[in-house]
Amino acid sequence: MTGSARFAALGSTAVLMVTDPDRLDPARRAVESVVAAIDQACSRFREDSELQALNRAAGRPLRVTPLLREAVRAAVRAAVITDGDVDPTLGDALIALGYDRDYDAGLDGRGGPAARLNFTSTAGWRAITIDDDAGTVSLPERVTLDLGATAKALAADQAAAAAEEQARCGVLVGLGGDLALAGPAPAGGWPVRVTDDHRADLSAPGQTITLTSGGLATSSTTVRRWTTDGESRHHVVDPSTGRCAEGRWRTVSVAAASCLDANIAATAAIIRSERAVAWLTEAGLPSRLVSRDGQVCHLAGWPVTGEDLAPEPETPAVSGR
């Protein structure tokens, strides 16, 4: 028997599952504490967040909490290991495209003509400096940092670890579909429904898999969409153009040792399009890629089943993002 809870978190929905229902309350308190700390440190949509203070200080060092330094370090690492395909310095591009507030606040009609940024003229993420001795982070001038590609996954990993420590049982934490596991899984593993949109019910096209450890993340161009000037836009931006990525894949799900690593790989795969197949295979990351016309590709040991893109309304599971 497992226990579960759902509640609002980080502009989306948090899902918490525990192997011992009697330990659900302390697990939830741990998750809520981590989520609140991440939101205060990393939100681009709160004027009182540390991230916004850092963006306003671009060009000079700012003393910040260890949590924000960790989040910025995770974002820079994402850029390094993906050769800049997952770029945390895309804040201005997202704002120009209309993503200047929490998605639930409504984005239709916001933003101007589709952004096109010249990234060769700035140092970008390579010039971000993290000084742990001084407790500071420095951004280059005219750079707006956005941690949306990594902070939520980092929060899922931290929340799962904190919940397991407090509850002393196996836990699954999902934040907007980014999933992290800690402690022993239930017999047979945690059932997870992988779909384009974590908000969909269990009848949505997709696939059910089981997880026993690590993390799972899904990046998709089918969700968090809005329309401006008659153009449909989404939140996955190609750093080479400053515009919405329009490659082969509409949705990519990746399993990895952590939710953060899974999220980095899934986001990069959307940007890399055709190149993602060889990259994910060489990295040995089990992945499920769905093309814009609905064709499904399984890589690196991702289980192949006959249910892909077929409804399974009776399966008790958690959706992907």
> What pTM did the predictor assign?
0.87
Closest CA to 239 of 143, 104, 128: 143
Q: What is the pLDDT of residue 120?
A: 44
User: Is residue 70 over pLDDT 70?
Assistant: yes
Q: Where are the alpha helices (DSSP H) in 82-117?
A: 91-96
Q: Among candidates 285, 202, 196, which has minimal Cα distance to 249? A: 196
Asked if residues 195 and 204 have their Cβ atoms less than 8 Å apart, the reply is yes
Please name which of 153, 270, 179, 261 lies closest in space to residue 223, comparing C-alpha atoms: 270
Model confidence at 118: pLDDT above 50: no
For residue 117, pLDDT beyond 50 = no
Confidence of residue 102 (pLDDT cuts 50, 70, 90): low
Q: Residue 140 corresponds to which tokens in the numbers above?
A: 């280059």
Angle 183-192-14 from CA coordinates, rounded to 5° = 70
8 A C-beta contact, residue 151 and residue 38: yes
Q: How far is CA 56 from the centre of its chain?
A: 24
d(CA 290, CA 180): 22
Distances (CA, A) of 321 to 52, 64, 221, 296: 26, 30, 11, 17
Map residue 224 onto helix, strand or coil.
coil
Please provide residue 77's backbone torsions phi and psi, each rounded to the nearest 5 degrees: -60, -40
Range scoring the smallest mean pLDDT among 54-58, 235-239, 313-317: 313-317
Tokens representing 23? Answer: 């330990």
The string of DSSP codes covering 145-207 is ---TTTHHHHHHHHHHHHHHHHH-S-EEEEETTEEEEESPPPTT-EEEEE-S-TTS-TTSS-E
pLDDT of 192 over the 60 cut: yes
Mean pLDDT of all residues belonging to the chain? 86
Residue 136, strand partner residues: 63, 131
In the block, tokens 């120009």 appear at 96
Q: How far apart are CA 128 and CA 26, in angstroms?
A: 37
35-49: pLDDT as tens digits = 999 999 999 888 999
Q: What is the mean pLDDT of residues 262-282?
A: 96
8-31 pLDDT, tens digit per residue, is 998 888 999 999 999 999 999 999
Per-residue pLDDT, 312:
37
Residue ranges of E strands in 26-121: 62-63
User: Using CA atoms, how far apart are residues 123 and 178, in angstroms rounded to an integer?
Assistant: 30
Given pLDDT bands bounded at 50, 70 and 90, which one contains residue 223?
confident
Bigger pLDDT: 110 or 257?
A: 257
Q: Which residue has the higher pLDDT, 100 or 155?
A: 155
Cα 106 to Cα 304: distance, rounded to the nearest angstrom: 37
Task: Tell me if 161 sits within 8 A of 25, measured CB to CB.
Answer: no
In this predicted structure, what is the pLDDT of residue 148? 87
Q: Are strands 249-256 and 287-291 parallel, antiparallel or unpaired?
A: antiparallel
Q: How far apart are CA 319 and CA 60, in angstroms?
A: 42
